[in-house]
Amino acid sequence: MKYCIGEFSSLLGITRDTLRLYEKHDIVKPVKDRHNSYRYFNDLDARDLLMSRWYRSLKIPLQDVAGLIQNASLDDILNKMEHSKQELEEEIRKSTMLLHKLDELSREVQSLEGRLYRCTLGDRPGLYRLKQTEKNNLLNTKGLEGTINALMEVLPYSFYCFRIERESIESEEDPLDYSWGLSISEDEVRQLGIALDEHLEYIPPSRCVSSVILSPQNEHFSKEALRFMLNYIHEHRYTISGAVSGRLMLTENHEGTKRSFLEIHIPIEESY
């Protein structure tokens, strides 16, 4: 039998637009009536269309489905299935990573108030970082669009990171010399399998005194804001061993004022 596009799409449970798309890829080939210019489909078109929909349900791209319908051996079909399987496994791996990241971030948010202005010792992993500001002022990053886009593509694993120079911490001057930039830990670089370029600076892993502070959004970093951590380091006879680093954890609007939760890491070594 032959069917017009409306009847054919209704019988197979698809939209006319989908049917036209499959026609565009030569998966179905309706016959045009030269008297009225209508296109008619037949029962064998239905078989090809349903087979194509089955392939698509296996996450095989439509262009590849067209090739399978038009001319494909069993080996061709198995290869496309294996490729779809590998892509699905990678998608599951990334979704699982994201689920774990959400768990981690949820725990961090729940513990924020308990960590405020409380010093702890811990190990900070190595970081890769792109400098994007001088203090809070954005730098001209022309030519770095590829690096920036690559880091933005891996959110939420990348994050906004600040760096305060060691010399600035140890001097008497205030406000401090600092900069902001997108960063990612070397652990997550390995897990994500992403490529890095020469524009990223490397901050090596370190034993750190860590804490969380609250900072109004428009304020510069000041030594006074870190005084409690510097006092802790002095009291425990540690020595600052490198640049201070940290990250913007989140920003909330509290009673009409925006304020940011900042995680601070001051690398230390024991004094002998």
Q: How far apart are CA 69 and CA 27, in angstroms?
A: 6
User: DSSP 3-state assignment of 143?
Assistant: coil
Max CA distance (Å), the chain: 98
Task: Encode pLDDT of 90-139 as tens digits.
Answer: 999 999 999 999 999 999 999 999 999 999 999 999 999 999 999 989 99
- Joined together, the tokens standing for residue 203 give 């901050």
Q: How far apart are CA 252 and CA 217, in angstroms?
A: 10
CB 123 within 8 A of CB 208: yes
Helices marked H in the chain: 5-12, 16-24, 43-57, 62-70, 74-115, 145-153, 166-170, 186-192, 227-235
Predicted pLDDT at 1: 83
What is the separation, in whole angstroms, between the first and last Cα of the chain?
Answer: 93
Provide the CATH number for the domain formed by 2-72 in this structure: 1.10.1660.10
Other CB atoms within 10 A of residue 208 CB: 23
Predicted pLDDT at 136: 87
User: pTM score > 0.75 for this model?
Assistant: yes
Q: Residue written as tokens 């496994």?
A: 89
Give residues with Cβ within 8 angstroms of 159, minimum separation 6.
182, 183, 184, 247, 248
Q: How far apart are CA 33 and CA 42, in angstroms?
A: 13
CB 183 within 8 A of CB 128: yes
In whole angstroms, how far apart are CA 52 and each of 7, 57, 61, 77? 19, 9, 10, 12
Predicted pLDDT at 95: 95
Provide the CATH number for the domain formed by 116-270 in this structure: 3.20.80.10
In whole angstroms, how far apart are CA 182 and each of 28, 50, 140, 248? 49, 48, 15, 10
Q: Residue written as tokens 């078989």?
A: 47
Predicted pLDDT at 231: 96
User: DSSP 3-state assignment of 124?
Assistant: strand
Predicted pLDDT at 102: 97
The chain-wide mean pLDDT, for the chain, equals 92
Other CB atoms within 10 A of residue 46 CB: 16
Q: How far apart are CA 147 and CA 170, in angstroms?
A: 32
Closest CA to 192 of 263, 101, 86: 101
Task: Encode pLDDT of 240-255 as tens digits.
Answer: 999 999 999 999 887 7
Would you list the domain boundaries of the chain? 2-72, 116-270
Closest CA to 261 of 271, 272, 250: 250
Other CB atoms within 10 A of residue 65 CB: 22
User: Per-block average pLDDT, block size 10, for the chain (272 residues)?
Assistant: 88 91 91 82 91 95 94 94 96 95 96 95 96 92 91 96 93 85 95 88 96 83 91 95 95 84 94 65
